[in-house]
Amino acid sequence: MKTKNIFDYPLFALGFRAFFVLAGLSALMLIVLWNAIFKGELVHANYFVPNLWHAHEMLLGYSVAVVAGFLLTAVKNWTGRPTLSGDQLGGLCLLWLYGRILPFYAGLLPDSLIALVDFLFLPLLAYRVSLPILQAKQTVNLVFVAILLVLAAGNGLVHAQMLGWTNASANLGIGLVLATLVVLILVIAGRVYPFFTERAISGTMVTKNPLIEGLSIASAVLVFALQLAHVSGTGLAVAAIIAALANFARVYGWYVPRIRYVPLLWVLYIGYGWIITGFGLTALAAYQLVLPSLALHAFTVGGIAVVTLGMMARVSLGHTGRALRVSNAIALAFVLINVAALLRVLLPIALPNWYDWLVYGSTLCWLAAFALFIVVYLPILTQARIDGQEG
């Protein structure tokens, strides 16, 4: 009797499967660990200082896992050529996992080894994504390889400070990673939101305005560039207002009222709305009218988390041969992740004295949302396609 290799199971058939499982589990575990660290209930040696570990893991751990799963799957669709699967995909997953674990072995392992293991993931992912793109001669899609390399550069800036090579590059690196992830969402949104809308709502024809499309991306890049250059005040506020208005006009042009009846659509549109809110709060923060952390969490807990949860839900259904309809449990998860953002971002402005309780409530909603995702989608991601096709 032949023994089946672990990498022959459906979990390693295509990138979205393994990496979405890792993303969902890390969204739970990283927040539980952060809550314990923040409260002082968990004191353990770590390569990173606490606040930096939290930012690094949510952006370069959770978020990058979603990006890896999405791109390894999308590039196969775009090019018609295979991407990683089997033991090679398993190896890349292990590299990502070691990057999450090794920081807790600070003092037992050399810092340089911890940094190297975590840093290598993104350049290796960029290389593996580039191969089918170059083979298919789809040079336009190399923009996604460039984005992965920019993320790697941001990660490198973080590790450069941790290794003592620089004095203060970690915050710059985290800022660069955050900016790149938001811009990546805006780029992908332009590709898929109109398509998803037309496919889900019969009779819909979405038109895109080239000027608005270009301005929405360019203005976002400008806002983040000013922030990275430590420019504030009127210059940043004006740029942020332009970005908010341009992106509102962009998404409004795609919107049709029937979207509200399709959870897989409204979650993506609301996630985009949180990014627009992030630009609005950035303008207010430029004049010190709100805390910059509120704008930061509008982009992260709101924009990145809501969009990635929605994208994982949709991609997982579509690429396992299932109908593009979510269960009531996942619709509830979409509501909960938005409530988490509401409690973390907007309510503290109106109820500053309740801040600690609001953050606690946000944490519970986050955990509930991703717990529902894991419970519903783990069987989907670990079982073969129901239509018998590969992937």
* pTM summary value: 0.95
Tokens 């806002």 appear where? 223
Confidence of residue 1 (pLDDT cuts 50, 70, 90): very low
> 11-38: per-residue pLDDT in tens?
999 999 999 999 999 999 999 999 888 8
Answer whether 198's CB lies under 8 Å from 256's CB. no
How far apart (Å, rounded) are the C-alpha atoms in residues 324 and 316?
9
Answer whether 103's CB lies under 8 Å from 30's CB. no
**266/107: higher pLDDT:** 266
CATH fold of 10-382 = Cytochrome C Oxidase; Chain A (1.20.210)
Overall size of the chain counted in residues: 391
Q: φ and ψ at 106, to 5 degrees? A: -60, 135
How far apart (Å, rounded) are the C-alpha atoms in residues 119 and 135?
26
Sequence spans of domains, the chain: 10-382
**9/21: higher pLDDT:** 21
Determine the Cα angle at 183 with ends 182 and 185, to 5°.
65
Tokens 């979990």 appear where? 11
Distances (CA, A) of 99 to 19, 62, 121, 270: 14, 11, 8, 31
Task: Quote the pLDDT of residue 126.
Answer: 97
Task: Quote the pLDDT of residue 6.
Answer: 76
Task: Quote the pLDDT of residue 5.
Answer: 75
Residue type, 24: G
Residue type, 216: S
Percentage of residues in the chain having pLDDT higher than 90: 90
